[in-house]
A and B are shown apart, each in its own frame.
Chain A
Amino acid sequence: MSAREIIAVALLVPGVVVLLLSCLGVLTGRNAYARLHYIGPSTLLGSTLIAAAILVRESLRPGGIKAGLTALILVLTGPVISHATARAIHTLESRRREDR
Protein backbone atom coordinates (compact mmCIF):
# COMPACT_ATOMS: atom_id res chain seq x y z
CA MET A 1 0.00 0.00 0.00
CA SER A 2 1.44 3.33 -1.05
CA ALA A 3 1.40 6.43 1.14
CA ARG A 4 -1.40 7.83 -0.99
CA GLU A 5 -3.56 4.74 -0.39
CA ILE A 6 -2.87 4.89 3.34
CA ILE A 7 -3.91 8.56 3.50
CA ALA A 8 -7.02 7.77 1.42
CA VAL A 9 -8.04 4.94 3.75
CA ALA A 10 -7.25 7.15 6.77
CA LEU A 11 -9.79 9.65 5.43
CA LEU A 12 -12.27 7.01 4.31
CA VAL A 13 -12.66 5.15 7.60
CA PRO A 14 -13.70 8.16 9.72
CA GLY A 15 -16.08 9.23 6.96
CA VAL A 16 -17.79 5.85 6.97
CA VAL A 17 -17.85 5.78 10.77
CA VAL A 18 -19.51 9.22 10.88
CA LEU A 19 -22.18 8.08 8.44
CA LEU A 20 -22.86 4.83 10.27
CA LEU A 21 -23.12 6.64 13.60
CA SER A 22 -25.48 9.16 12.01
CA CYS A 23 -27.68 6.31 10.79
CA LEU A 24 -27.70 4.87 14.32
CA GLY A 25 -28.60 8.30 15.61
CA VAL A 26 -31.56 8.48 13.25
CA LEU A 27 -32.68 5.11 14.58
CA THR A 28 -32.31 5.97 18.27
CA GLY A 29 -33.44 9.61 18.25
CA ARG A 30 -36.29 10.38 20.63
CA ASN A 31 -38.27 12.57 18.28
CA ALA A 32 -38.17 14.01 14.78
CA TYR A 33 -36.02 16.99 15.80
CA ALA A 34 -33.42 14.75 17.45
CA ARG A 35 -33.30 12.49 14.40
CA LEU A 36 -33.00 15.49 12.09
CA HIS A 37 -29.80 16.59 13.81
CA TYR A 38 -27.94 13.60 12.42
CA ILE A 39 -28.42 14.73 8.82
CA GLY A 40 -25.85 17.47 9.50
CA PRO A 41 -22.76 15.37 10.25
CA SER A 42 -23.55 12.96 7.44
CA THR A 43 -23.89 15.61 4.73
CA LEU A 44 -21.14 17.93 5.93
CA LEU A 45 -18.49 15.78 7.58
CA GLY A 46 -19.12 12.29 6.21
CA SER A 47 -19.48 13.31 2.58
CA THR A 48 -16.44 15.62 2.78
CA LEU A 49 -14.21 12.93 4.27
CA ILE A 50 -15.28 10.31 1.74
CA ALA A 51 -14.85 12.72 -1.17
CA ALA A 52 -11.43 13.73 0.16
CA ALA A 53 -10.43 10.06 0.34
CA ILE A 54 -11.46 9.51 -3.27
CA LEU A 55 -9.74 12.74 -4.35
CA VAL A 56 -6.51 11.65 -2.68
CA ARG A 57 -6.68 8.33 -4.51
CA GLU A 58 -7.88 9.62 -7.89
CA SER A 59 -6.50 13.21 -7.75
CA LEU A 60 -8.00 15.23 -10.65
CA ARG A 61 -9.12 12.27 -12.75
CA PRO A 62 -12.88 12.10 -13.59
CA GLY A 63 -13.58 9.84 -10.60
CA GLY A 64 -12.10 12.35 -8.19
CA ILE A 65 -13.90 15.30 -9.74
CA LYS A 66 -17.22 13.45 -9.63
CA ALA A 67 -16.68 12.60 -5.97
CA GLY A 68 -15.93 16.24 -5.19
CA LEU A 69 -19.00 17.33 -7.10
CA THR A 70 -21.22 14.86 -5.23
CA ALA A 71 -19.89 16.05 -1.89
CA LEU A 72 -20.38 19.68 -2.93
CA ILE A 73 -24.01 18.99 -3.85
CA LEU A 74 -24.61 17.24 -0.51
CA VAL A 75 -22.88 20.00 1.46
CA LEU A 76 -24.91 22.72 -0.24
CA THR A 77 -28.30 20.99 -0.17
CA GLY A 78 -28.05 19.33 3.26
CA PRO A 79 -28.66 22.44 5.37
CA VAL A 80 -31.50 23.56 3.08
CA ILE A 81 -33.23 20.20 3.43
CA SER A 82 -32.66 20.19 7.20
CA HIS A 83 -34.16 23.65 7.55
CA ALA A 84 -37.18 22.81 5.39
CA THR A 85 -37.77 19.59 7.33
CA ALA A 86 -37.48 21.35 10.70
CA ARG A 87 -39.98 23.94 9.53
CA ALA A 88 -42.39 21.22 8.43
CA ILE A 89 -42.01 19.40 11.77
CA HIS A 90 -42.72 22.64 13.62
CA THR A 91 -45.77 23.41 11.45
CA LEU A 92 -47.23 19.94 11.97
CA GLU A 93 -46.64 20.04 15.72
CA SER A 94 -48.21 23.51 16.01
CA ARG A 95 -51.20 22.30 14.07
CA ARG A 96 -51.56 19.26 16.36
CA ARG A 97 -51.40 21.49 19.45
CA GLU A 98 -54.09 23.78 18.06
CA ASP A 99 -56.35 20.83 17.26
CA ARG A 100 -56.29 19.61 20.87
Chain B
Amino acid sequence: MDPWLASALSLFMGLLPCGIVVARASLMERVVAYEMAGVVTSLGLLLVGEALQQPSFSDLAIALALLSFPASLVLVRFAERGL
Protein backbone atom coordinates (compact mmCIF):
# COMPACT_ATOMS: atom_id res chain seq x y z
CA MET B 1 0.00 0.00 0.00
CA ASP B 2 1.12 3.53 -0.75
CA PRO B 3 2.62 5.01 2.48
CA TRP B 4 0.82 8.29 1.91
CA LEU B 5 -2.59 6.67 1.64
CA ALA B 6 -1.86 4.43 4.62
CA SER B 7 -0.83 7.50 6.64
CA ALA B 8 -3.97 9.36 5.63
CA LEU B 9 -6.18 6.42 6.62
CA SER B 10 -4.42 6.02 9.97
CA LEU B 11 -4.79 9.74 10.62
CA PHE B 12 -8.52 9.53 9.98
CA MET B 13 -8.66 6.64 12.47
CA GLY B 14 -7.49 9.25 14.99
CA LEU B 15 -10.88 10.90 14.60
CA LEU B 16 -12.42 7.98 16.48
CA PRO B 17 -11.00 8.92 19.91
CA CYS B 18 -11.99 12.54 19.27
CA GLY B 19 -15.52 11.39 18.43
CA ILE B 20 -15.73 9.35 21.63
CA VAL B 21 -14.74 12.39 23.69
CA VAL B 22 -17.25 14.58 21.85
CA ALA B 23 -19.98 12.01 22.57
CA ARG B 24 -19.26 11.39 26.23
CA ALA B 25 -17.30 14.16 27.96
CA SER B 26 -18.09 17.53 29.49
CA LEU B 27 -18.57 20.71 27.45
CA MET B 28 -14.99 22.01 27.41
CA GLU B 29 -13.55 18.54 26.84
CA ARG B 30 -15.78 18.28 23.80
CA VAL B 31 -14.45 21.62 22.57
CA VAL B 32 -10.88 20.36 22.96
CA ALA B 33 -11.72 17.17 21.04
CA TYR B 34 -13.38 19.23 18.30
CA GLU B 35 -10.24 21.36 17.95
CA MET B 36 -8.07 18.25 17.73
CA ALA B 37 -10.41 16.75 15.13
CA GLY B 38 -10.03 19.90 13.03
CA VAL B 39 -6.23 19.62 13.07
CA VAL B 40 -6.30 15.91 12.26
CA THR B 41 -8.79 16.33 9.42
CA SER B 42 -6.85 19.19 7.89
CA LEU B 43 -3.62 17.19 7.85
CA GLY B 44 -5.44 14.07 6.70
CA LEU B 45 -6.81 15.96 3.70
CA LEU B 46 -3.28 17.09 2.85
CA LEU B 47 -2.13 13.47 2.86
CA VAL B 48 -5.10 12.30 0.78
CA GLY B 49 -4.27 14.99 -1.77
CA GLU B 50 -0.69 13.82 -1.82
CA ALA B 51 -1.64 10.15 -2.12
CA LEU B 52 -4.13 10.69 -4.94
CA GLN B 53 -2.12 13.53 -6.53
CA GLN B 54 -5.23 15.72 -6.43
CA PRO B 55 -4.39 19.34 -5.55
CA SER B 56 -8.01 20.12 -4.70
CA PHE B 57 -7.65 18.24 -1.41
CA SER B 58 -4.81 20.57 -0.41
CA ASP B 59 -7.09 23.53 -1.06
CA LEU B 60 -9.67 21.92 1.24
CA ALA B 61 -7.01 21.44 3.90
CA ILE B 62 -6.02 25.11 3.81
CA ALA B 63 -9.67 26.18 3.92
CA LEU B 64 -10.36 23.92 6.90
CA ALA B 65 -7.27 25.10 8.77
CA LEU B 66 -8.25 28.74 8.16
CA LEU B 67 -11.92 28.32 9.05
CA SER B 68 -11.44 26.14 12.12
CA PHE B 69 -9.56 28.97 13.84
CA PRO B 70 -12.46 31.46 14.08
CA ALA B 71 -14.89 28.60 14.55
CA SER B 72 -12.96 27.39 17.59
CA LEU B 73 -12.68 30.91 18.99
CA VAL B 74 -16.41 31.53 18.61
CA LEU B 75 -17.24 28.17 20.18
CA VAL B 76 -14.88 28.83 23.08
CA ARG B 77 -16.37 32.28 23.58
CA PHE B 78 -19.92 30.90 23.70
CA ALA B 79 -18.82 28.11 26.05
CA GLU B 80 -17.15 30.64 28.33
CA ARG B 81 -20.34 32.66 28.60
CA GLY B 82 -22.31 29.48 29.27
CA LEU B 83 -24.12 27.74 26.43
Spell out A's residues near B (CB within 8 Å): 9, 12-13, 15-16, 19-20, 22-24, 26-27, 29, 31-32, 35-36, 38-39, 42-43, 46-47, 50-51, 54, 57-58, 62-63, 66-67, 69-70, 73-74, 77-78, 80-81, 84-85, 87-89, 91-92, 95
- Distance in angstroms between the alpha carbons of A77 and B62 in the assembled complex: 13
**Measuring CB to CB, which residues of chain B are less than 8 angstroms from any residue of chain A?**
3-4, 7, 10-11, 13-18, 20-21, 26-29, 31-33, 35-36, 39-40, 42-43, 46-47, 49-50, 55, 58-59, 61-62, 65-66, 68-69, 72-73, 76-77, 79-80, 82
Decide: A85 and B28 in contact? CB cutoff 8 A. Answer: yes
Q: Is the interface of B mostly helix, strand, loop or mixed?
A: helix
Q: Is the interface of A mostly helix, strand, loop or mixed?
A: helix
